[in-house]
């Protein structure tokens, strides 16, 4: 008893110090964000009167997070409207950076990214992103009903449009098994639905938004086989007739892509469809064969 009474205050003080240090670190990050200068828009092009078709071109693009460590160098490629472009490569190859540049989360250091021939640097970020949709590995849900979570994709959507998006992306398959159906309330963490069902909800939200350009970062979380099949079908429905960029983690899911880019150190080392890249017996073939042979080597193609 005496030893507990002696050590308990020391334990409490140590715990308070940890909390205080965490609070100080959080405050530093918050104030760093508040003090950061606003990004200049530089918008000279209004897309409201333009029919966006979804042609994306990288023209001699260079980018680095820090000046002494170039990441993407002299990158050029074209994605025609409606095409699916899959991006594979080892960690740090520049896959996620590439799609971040499309969304203008960062601006290129040199070169240009063009949307239907228009330099995206001349388009406001809000205007540009209005035509784009993202489905990321991390599923973001909001406190509210399942219906509400889908409707965030388009706040002006009708009930029928919400139901159509749910049916097209197989959300209705699991919603019908819930006692409250689409009125089932979920919290921010989505505790009442599984990881795969969360992914389907985010896909349905993107489907309802109906973007011209789509960015998919395949989830690597473990889901049961049945749900994984539904996710792949939902993603295929979402990609239909949209220019799509897919960061691929499982090479089996991108065999139908129009173009597969193999990236290493910010460069495209191979480019083509599944059959031509396998026949070339290069970097893609090595990744593909190693992944399906269950090789012990690390062939991580995640970002």
Domain boundary assignment for the chain: 1-36, 56-302
Least confident of 54-58, 101-105, 143-147, 287-291: 287-291
Q: Return the pLDDT at 219.
A: 60
Q: Output the CA torsion 130→132→136→142 (10° steps).
A: 30
Nearest to 171 by CA among 238, 84, 73: 238
DSSP class of residue 36 equals S
Q: What CATH code is assigned to 56-302?
A: 3.40.50.300
Q: Return the pLDDT at 294.
A: 52
CA dist 195 and 237 (Å) reads: 20
Q: Return the pLDDT at 290.
A: 79
Residue 38, pLDDT > 80, answer: no
**pLDDT classification of 81: cutoffs 50, 70, 90:** very high
Least confident of 43-47, 233-237, 241-245: 43-47
Sort residue 217 into left (φ over 0), alpha (ψ -120 to 50) or beta. beta
Residue 278 near residue 285 (C-beta atoms within 8 A): yes
Q: Return the pLDDT at 59.
A: 93
**pLDDT classification of 296: cutoffs 50, 70, 90:** very low
> pTM surpassing 0.85?
no
CA dist 273 and 275 (Å) reads: 6
């Amino acid at each position: 008893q005496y030893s507990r009474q002696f050590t308990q205050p020391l334990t409490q003080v140590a715990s308070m110090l940890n909390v205080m240090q965490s609070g100080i670190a959080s405050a530093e990050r918050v104030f760093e964000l508040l003090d950061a200068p606003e990004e200049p828009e530089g918008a000279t092009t209004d897309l409201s009167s333009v029919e966006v078709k979804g042609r994306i071109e990288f023209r001699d693009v260079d980018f680095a997070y820090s000046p002494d460590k170039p990441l993407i160098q002299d990158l050029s490629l074209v994605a025609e409207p409606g095409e699916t472009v899959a991006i594979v490569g080892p960690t740090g190859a520049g896959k996620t950076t590439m799609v971040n540049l499309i969304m203008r989360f960062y601006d290129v250091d040199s070169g240009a990214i063009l949307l239907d021939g228009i330099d995206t640097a001349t388009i406001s970020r809000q205007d540009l992103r209005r035509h784009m949709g993202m489905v990321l590995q991390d599923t973001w849900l909001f406190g509210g009903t399942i219906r509400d979570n889908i409707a965030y994709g388009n706040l002006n959507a009708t009930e029928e449009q919400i139901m159509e998006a749910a049916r097209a992306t197989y959300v209705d398959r699991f919603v019908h098994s819930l006692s409250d159906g689409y009125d089932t309330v979920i919290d921010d963490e989505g505790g009442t639905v599984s990881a795969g069902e969360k992914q389907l909800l985010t896909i349905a939200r993107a489907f309802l938004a109906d973007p011209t350009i789509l960015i998919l970062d395949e989830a690597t979380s473990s889901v049961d086989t049945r749900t994984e099949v539904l996710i792949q079908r939902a993603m295929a429905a979402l990609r239909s007739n949209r220019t799509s960029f897919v960061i691929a983690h499982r090479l089996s899911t991108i065999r139908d892509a129009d173009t597969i880019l193999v990236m290493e150190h910010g460069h495209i080392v191979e480019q083509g469809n599944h059959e031509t890249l396998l026949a070339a017996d290069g970097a893609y073939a090595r990744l593909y064969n190693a992944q399906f042979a269950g090789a012990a080597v690390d062939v991580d193609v995640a970002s």
